[in-house]
Amino acid sequence: MKITDIKCTIFDWKSPTGIGGMMRNWVGQEGAPYMVVTVHTDEGIEGYCNACVHGSKGQVDFIETRLRPILIGEDPTYIEAIWQKMFRAGRLTVEQQILPMVQGCIDLCLWDINGKAAGLPIYKMLGACRDKVLAYACSEGCPTTEELIDEALAQKEKGYKGYKHHPLDPYNIDVKRDIKDCTALRKALGDDFILMTDPYGIYNREQALQMGRALDELNFEWFEEPMPEWEIESLVVLAREIKTPVLGPEIVYGSLYSTPEYIIRGAIDIVRAGVRDKGGITPLKKIAALAEAFGMDCEFHNAVAPLYSVANLHVMCAVKNSRYHEKMVRPYWAGVTEDVEIDEEGYITVPQKPGLGLEIDWNYVNKHKIYETPSL
């Protein structure tokens, strides 16, 4: 089997429920351009991924001008070799550096192709450990404490066993407000409900310590991205001083190669990873194994695109040291016919179809198409 072409299709997507909180900063109030990446093969098997274009066509340009020429003719079963080739494809200049989400798109397409060729869902290709995982609802931030509580209670009513808080405005830091919101969440949802918080890395050391000590009293599951991830020494101090587990690093560059520093230094208690920000399924399975070797959990973050998120789910179901699937409060089904949802017990079951297991809604994509890679 050989790769014969790689194409990007950009389409406009608007959420039926609108976009809330901080997500508006990068997907707009209603939605944003998304893209479907398709890897074609000479055997007629196609692999797909979709991603938010973030208001720029830069990711598409990189795929078309840098990756397409060097990957056509490659054997898509050589996933590791291709991942390494892509990882080193942008080493010469800053302008040419490959974005992890771009590499992740191609990597997901390759796994999708191989799963379809084998007739197996990807988690079974990776070595299945389970078929479903517990999910938690991830907030996008709410304007008031009252609206935050209403949203969290609504998610609990839907069957979620956990909820993650995001401060509404990271450009207006207010630790007292954030502590007030987290305290109200604990009181409203009860002592046994799973709660997390993710302030987008906005605090300095003093603020993070103040928030972390409050979370200790509130028995939160984790404290995610409390400070900028390059402030490793401050993260070391925080992780040492508080009981609540510190979760990270989410967006730091270097894929799996940058993670050991955080583990060895004791800057984190739980490893954070995901196919979008680490470059695909291939490195994600390795990062989870790295965490396991140090006796740590590895939790995967939602990528606000259905095929990214279901790819995380496939990896989760192939490892033992990941507990919760992150599901956004508002639906981000952009470009697929249906998304995975929780069952009555709060679990999400991994798709059983070959490959990633979600179908591209080509009727919707083509109807709202903005751009498509020209044919060779």
Distances from the Cα of 77 to the Cα of 121, 285, 346, angstroms: 15, 17, 35
| Residue in 270, 273, 269, 266 with CA at minimum distance from that of residue 232 | 266
In contact, 272 and 251? CB cutoff 8 Å: no
| Neighbour tally for 106: CB within 10 Å | 27
Q: In what order do the strands lie in the sheet with 369-372?
A: 47-52, 31-41, 3-14, 369-372
Every domain range in the chain assigned CATH 3.20.20.120: 123-349
Cα–Cα distance for residue pair 219/196, rounded to 1 Å: 9
Burial bucket for residue 144 (CB in 10 Å: 0-12, 13-18, 19+): exposed
Cis? peptide before 170, omega within 30° of 0 = no
Average pLDDT (246-262) is 90
Q: What percent of the chain has pLDDT over 70?
A: 92
* All CATH 3.30.390.10 domain ranges in the chain, comma separated: 3-120+359-372
| Burial status of residue 262 (CB atoms within 10 A of its CB: 0-12, 13-18, 19 or more) | buried
337-360 pLDDT tens trace: 999 999 999 999 999 999 999 999
Residues 6+ apart with CB under 8 A from 17: 330, 331
Q: How far apart are CA 200 and CA 192, in angstroms?
A: 25
Cα–Cα distance, 51 to 276 (Å, whole number): 9
Sign of the four-CA dihedral 271, 273, 279, 283:
positive
pLDDT reported for residue 29 = 57
What pLDDT score does 26 carry?
Answer: 52
Tell me the C-alpha distance between 239 and 305, whole Å: 31
- Residues forming a β-bridge with 192: none
Q: Do 282 and 251 meet the contact criterion of CB atoms below 8 Å apart?
A: no
Neighbouring residues of 330: CB distance < 8 A, sequence distance ≥ 6: 15, 17, 18, 19, 20, 23, 140
Under DSSP, is residue 148 helix (H, G, I), strand (E, B) or coil? Answer: helix
Contact call for residues 83 and 103 (beta carbons, < 8 A): yes
The pTM is what?
0.94
Residue 22 has a pLDDT of 56
Check if the beta carbon of residue 224 is closer than 8 Å to that of residue 250. Answer: yes
Q: What pLDDT is recorded for position 333?
A: 78
Rg (CA), the chain: 20
pLDDT, tens digit, 9 for 90 and up, residues 268-313: 999 999 999 899 999 999 999 999 999 999 999 888 889 999 999 9
Q: Point out which residues pair with 133 in neighbouring strands.
A: 348
Going from the C-alpha of 89 to that of each of 69, 114, 264, the distances in angstroms are 11, 23, 29
Q: Which of 5-9, 48-52, 170-174, 338-342 has the highest mean pLDDT?
A: 5-9
In this structure, whether the domain defined by 3-120+359-372 belongs to CATH 3.30.390.10 is answered with yes
Class of domain 123-349: alpha beta
Give the model confidence (pLDDT) of 13-39 as tens digits: 877 666 555 555 555 555 678 899 999
Main-chain phi, psi angles of 327, to 5 degrees: -125, 125
